[in-house]
Amino acid sequence: MKNNQELWGIYFPQFIENKDEGVDLLMNSSSLVKLAAGRQIFYPGSICENYLLVLTGTVKVQIMSESGREVLLYHVRSGDSCVLTTSCMLSGDCYPAEGITETEVTAFAMSSHAFYRCIEQSPFFREFVFKNFSSRLSKLIGRMEAVVFETIDQRIGKALLESGEKVVVKTHQELAYELGSAREVVSRHLKNFESYGWVRLKRGTVDIINREALIRVCAKR
C-alpha cells in the first residue's frame, strides 16, 4: 500500500517537484478518500466543502431536466479536478448539478480552508487551479455548443468515431445519455445509419462499417 507522498508523486508529480511552502502544507493537510461506485458526491443546492483531486476512477457530473431526463455535463477522471467544485469554491455558491461516482474513486480531499489558504500563499497552486479550471470550462462550453449547434447525426457520428474502435460497446441509452438526447431519438438515427450501410447494430454494440461516411457526416455544416 503506497503512502500519500508516493501517491502525490505518481498522480500529481508537479506538486512534489514544487518547492512552495504553501503546497507542502496543502499536501500534508489533504486526506486520501475512497468512494464506492454509485455514490452521490454532491447535489443541486449542496455546499462545497472540499476540493478534490482524483487519483483513480471516474465521476460523472450531470443535471436533471424538468422531464426527469439525466443530461451528462462531463466526466472527472484521474488527474482531474471538477470545474463546478472549483467554481463553487471560488464563488461561495452552492452546486447547480450533481456528481456521482461511476466507479470506485480514490482522491485527495482538501478542506475549503486549506484551499483558500494555498490560493493566497502559492503562485504555483493558483496557476494549477486556474489552468485546470480554464481547460475544463472550455471543454464544457464546447460540449454545450455541440448540443446547440450540431445536428444529432453529427453528434452521434462523433461519439462513435471518438472511441477509435470498429466495435463501439455502448447501448443506445448510454449514447443518448452522453449526448444529452433521448434514447428513442438516438435509436432512430442509428437505424438510419444502419440502413445506409454505415453501421451494424447489435445488442449493446455498434459495429462501424463505413468510417469515411461517418467522417463526412461530422464535417457537414
CATH 3.30.1360.200 given to domain 150-219: no
- What pLDDT, in 10s, does the model give residues 181-193? 778 888 999 999 9
CA dihedral sign, ordered 1, 59, 11, 31: negative
Q: Which three cell numbers stand for residue 52?
A: 478534490
Please tell me which residue, 148 or 163, carries the higher pLDDT value: 163
Q: Is a pLDDT exceeding 80 seen at residue 220?
A: no
Give the whole-angstrom CA distance, residue 166 versus residue 204.
Answer: 14
Q: Looking at the predicted structure, is the pLDDT value of residue 30 above 80? A: yes
What's the average model confidence in pLDDT over 131-154?
82
* CATH level 3 topology of 4-147: Jelly Rolls (2.60.120)
Closest C-alpha to 210, from 198, 201, 218, 221: 198
> Is 0.85 topped by the overall pTM?
no
Residue 74 CA to residue 64 CA, distance in Å, equals 14
Long-range contacts of 120-126 (CB under 8 A, 24+ apart): 120/22, 121/20, 121/21, 121/22, 122/20, 122/22, 122/23, 122/26, 123/20, 124/14, 124/18, 124/20, 124/23, 125/20, 125/22, 125/23, 125/26
Average pLDDT over residues 1-21: 86
Confidence grade of residue 1 (pLDDT, cut at 50, 70, 90): low
- Residue 149 pLDDT more than 80? no
Question: Where along the chain do the CATH 1.10.10.10 domains lie?
Answer: 150-219
Neighbours of 174 (CB within 10 A): 16
Mean pLDDT of the chain: 88
CA distance 84 to 5: 27
Per-residue confidence band for 24, with pLDDT thresholds at 50, 70 and 90: confident
Q: Could you give the angle at the alpha carbon of 101 between the alpha carbons of 187 and 36, nearest 5°?
A: 130
- Give the residue range(s) of CATH 2.60.120.10 domains in the chain: 4-147
**pLDDT digits over 64-117, tens only?**
776 667 778 888 999 999 999 999 999 999 999 999 999 999 999 999 999 999
Contact criterion met (CB below 8 Å) for 43 and 60: no
